[in-house]
Amino acid sequence: MGSFMESGLGGQSGPIEEIILDPITGKKIIKKGTISFPPRKVFFKTFGCQMNYHDTERMLFHLKSLNFTQTEEKENADLILFNTCAIRDLANTKFYSNLGEVKKLKAKDQKVVVGVGGCVAQTEGKELIKKYKHLDFAFGTDVIDSINDLVYRAYAGESKFKMNAWDRSENFSIETKITHGSPQAFVNIIKGCNKYCSYCIVPYTRGKEKSRRLAEIVEDVRKLVRFQGIQEITLLGQNVNSFGKENGESLAQLIFELDKIEGLQLIRYTTSHPYDVTDELIYAHGIAKKLSNHLHLPVQSGSKTVLERMLREYTPEAFLGLCEKLRVSNPNIVLSTDIIVGFPNETEEEFQCTLDLLNKAQFDFIYSYAFSPRPGTKAALIEDTLSDSERNLRLRKVQKHQLEIQSKIRSNLVGQTMRILVDGNNTMKGVLTWKGRTNCNRIVHFHPETVDKNYQWHWVDVEITSSTALSCSGRIKKDYGKLPPK
């Protein structure tokens, strides 16, 4: 006799499950309606931002209730799922080449099920299904929590189907699902984006902004801390500081409530649009004790005219003014940014303005990209005189320029002691080093006291003895174990 339980289809209805044991292998088989789910392996290939990695983790969580475990080898997988990114052409190209490789696996074993989800599938799901014979289904960004329904349909014999409808419900209500054993968790607080920057595909692939309710998030985080040992959260969204607008709530209010949760150590959030950085949020950076001393604030360009063409709704002066206000509110704050070089028809003078802004803003690190035209966006329609080689040259220049700034910033850290949460190790030329991030998101490496000592997820103090443009290294001064001192 098997035991019965409610469907695990991510909170949706579905056939009732029955769990039985295979009489020969003794392994668990999940029966849903007439379909049996023996233990199977799923391989994920994720492209793009933290949002996509977070969505992948949600899918893995749901699929566990259909008896799937994750494999890192696609050759061993029964189910192959792509979570795609459309933000730049490079991610697109990589996805298509990966999809091509999977064709060979499917030719060897017709039983392998292949699905494509995420941003590319949202806008091109129908075409993908039509064009790629080895693709079983495609699904958009708003149906992540329906992954079990889709996989059920595939194992029920349906093929070549897509689901990329938008979630039309008024509320955005979810519970954070984690599968890892780390003390760090991403917590999605808002989806979509209403900004329509002229170069960006996100509003078309992720839809309109919709926030979760503040009270729901606070309860969610409380549970993560209490029952899953979470100490550090990153509030996630394409534009988190738009959070709560439609409900009369704000990111600052949320931070103040989360700040009260006992056991929570650190609150981060990403990504922000400068236009939505309110005085209340700036104040929170000075007051909220658990809020990270780091803010990623994408500026995109240092040129007033390029920012106008990008439809960013601020000037370089206004952006620098914001940086200043944040630094007054919290003198320890560290800022980072995103830069796009080679926006259509960007002149040499406009490009120079970006280098000037980097000098003035003194970012701790930057992500920099060459403009990539995205079909359907306004900027893709602009007739452009700039060549790709000029764009790439500017990208190299901006990166070199910023690395010099960072080298100086980091060399000033030598001699200071920093507390980090250790998140991994690596061995280079036979030498083992551990690494972690400071509250202000700086990477710090250190040598272990003894080679066999395991520091994973320990809080440690490290005295910085040397630095490069990208990280610091030092000697361990104190190991607090898995909880930092009060």
Binding residues vs ligand SAM (CB under 6 A) = 49, 87-88, 199-200, 202, 238-239, 271, 273, 298, 300, 338, 340, 369, 371-372, 374
* Residue 211 vs 438, nearer CB to ligand SAM: 211
* Residue 300 vs 473, nearer CB to ligand SAM: 300
Show the tokens assigned to 241: 């500081």
* Residue 273 vs 294, nearer CB to ligand SAM: 273
In three state form, how does the secondary structure of the chain look?
A: CCEEECCCCCCCCCCCEEEEECCCCCCEEEEECCEEECCEEEEEEECCCHHHHHHHHHHHHHHHCCCEEECCCHHHCCEEEEEECCCCHHHHHHHHHHHHHHHHHHHHCCCCEEEEEEHHHHHHHHHHHHHCCCCCEEECHHHHHHHHHHHHHHHCCCCCEEECCCCCCCCCCCCCCCCCCCCEEEEECEECCCCCCCCCCHHHHHCCCEECCHHHHHHHHHHHHHHHCCCEEEEECCCHHHCCHHHCCCHHHHHHHHCCCCCCCEEEEECCCHHHCCHHHHHHHHHCCCECCEEECCCECCCHHHHHHHCCCCCHHHHHHHHHHHHHHCCCCEEEEEEEECCCCCCHHHHHHHHHHHHHHCCCEEEEEECCCCCCCCHHHCCCCCCHHHHHHHHHHHHHHHHHHHHHHHHCCCCCEEEEEEEEEEEECCEEEEEEEECCCCEEEEECCCCCCCCCCCEEEEEEEEECCCCEEEEEEEECCCCCCC
* Residue 197 vs 267, nearer CB to ligand SF4: 197
Nearest distance in Å: CB 158, ligand SF4: 34
* Residue 7 vs 238, nearer CB to ligand SF4: 238
Contacted by 369, from ligand SF4, ligand SAM, none: CB < 5 to 8 Å by type: ligand SAM
Contacted by 374, from ligand SAM, ligand SF4, none: CB < 5 to 8 Å by type: ligand SAM
Nearest distance in Å: CB 391, ligand SAM: 10
- Side-chain-side CA neighbours of 214 within 13 Å: the count stands at 17
What's the rounded Cα separation, in Å, for the pair 347 and 392? 14
Contacted by 242, from ligand SF4, ligand SAM, none: CB < 5 to 8 Å by type: none
* Residue 377 vs 467, nearer CB to ligand SF4: 377
Contacted by 88, from ligand SF4, ligand SAM, none: CB < 5 to 8 Å by type: ligand SAM
Nearest distance in Å: CB 279, ligand SAM: 19
Q: Which residues bind ligand SF4 (CB under 6 A)?
A: 193, 195-197, 200, 202-203, 238-239, 273
* Residue 187 vs 395, nearer CB to ligand SAM: 395
What's the rounded Cα separation, in Å, for the pair 465 and 463? 6
Integer angstrom CA distances of residue 147 from 154, 321, 345, 368: 11, 45, 42, 33
Contacted by 371, from ligand SF4, ligand SAM, none: CB < 5 to 8 Å by type: ligand SAM
Nearest distance in Å: CB 87, ligand SAM: 5
* Residue 196 vs 480, nearer CB to ligand SF4: 196
Contacted by 338, from ligand SF4, ligand SAM, none: CB < 5 to 8 Å by type: ligand SAM
Nearest distance in Å: CB 193, ligand SF4: 3
Nearest distance in Å: CB 295, ligand SAM: 12
Nearest distance in Å: CB 60, ligand SAM: 22
Contacted by 343, from ligand SAM, ligand SF4, none: CB < 5 to 8 Å by type: none
Contacted by 203, from ligand SF4, ligand SAM, none: CB < 5 to 8 Å by type: ligand SF4
Q: Which residue has the tokens 């710090």?
A: 444
Nearest distance in Å: CB 368, ligand SF4: 14
* Residue 325 vs 378, nearer CB to ligand SF4: 378
Nearest distance in Å: CB 234, ligand SAM: 14
Contacted by 122, from ligand SAM, ligand SF4, none: CB < 5 to 8 Å by type: none
Contacted by 196, from ligand SF4, ligand SAM, none: CB < 5 to 8 Å by type: ligand SF4
* Residue 87 vs 422, nearer CB to ligand SAM: 87
Nearest distance in Å: CB 240, ligand SAM: 9
